[in-house]
């Protein structure tokens, strides 16, 4: 849960600090569940692209090594924002993460 909370805050900071394109790519285990893939899409207001290749890190490394990865980058599934996630929703999610990560401290 702590990693998830850090990722949420990191994503918010990145979105404030730099201009990003219209979409975000996700990979690995995060892409395995379409409901999970839909959340960052709606929370960020940006489209999500789920490539057919699960490991974007390996794909990026192959590109750095000179392998033509264009076709692998273009294939996959796209999600479009399915409604807006409000500021209240973000605050509720942050509180839930704090509760979920804090239970362990209360058991020690």
Task: Assess if residue 73 is contained within a domain.
Answer: yes
d(CA 6, CA 1): 9
Residues of the domain holding 50? 22-103
Task: Assess if residue 9 is contained within a domain.
Answer: no
Task: Kindly state the average pLDDT of the residues 12-41.
Answer: 70
Task: Assess if residue 60 is contained within a domain.
Answer: yes
The three-state secondary structure class of 37 is helix
> How many domains does one find in the chain?
1
pLDDT in tens, 30-69: 666 666 667 777 777 777 777 777 777 888 888 899 998 8
Task: Assess if residue 26 is contained within a domain.
Answer: yes
Question: Residue 81 is encoded by which pair of tokens?
Answer: 């924002």
d(CA 13, CA 15): 5
Q: What's the confidence (pLDDT) of residue 89?
A: 81
E strand map for the chain: 23-25, 47-51, 76-79
pLDDT in tens, 68-105: 887 776 767 777 777 777 778 878 888 887 887 777 66
Q: What's the confidence (pLDDT) of residue 108?
A: 59
């Amino acid at each position: 849960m702590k990693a998830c909370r850090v990722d949420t805050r990191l994503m918010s900071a990145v979105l404030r600090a730099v201009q990003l394109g219209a979409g975000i790519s996700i990979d690995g285990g995060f892409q395995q569940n379409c409901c999970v893939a839909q959340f960052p899409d709606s929370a960020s207001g940006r489209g999500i692209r789920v490539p057919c290749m699960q490991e974007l890190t390996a794909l990026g490394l192959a590109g750095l090594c000179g392998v033509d990865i264009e076709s692998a980058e273009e294939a996959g599934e796209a999600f479009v924002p399915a409604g807006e996630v409000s500021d209240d929703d973000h605050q509720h999610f942050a509180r839930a993460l704090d509760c979920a990560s804090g239970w362990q401290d209360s058991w020690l």
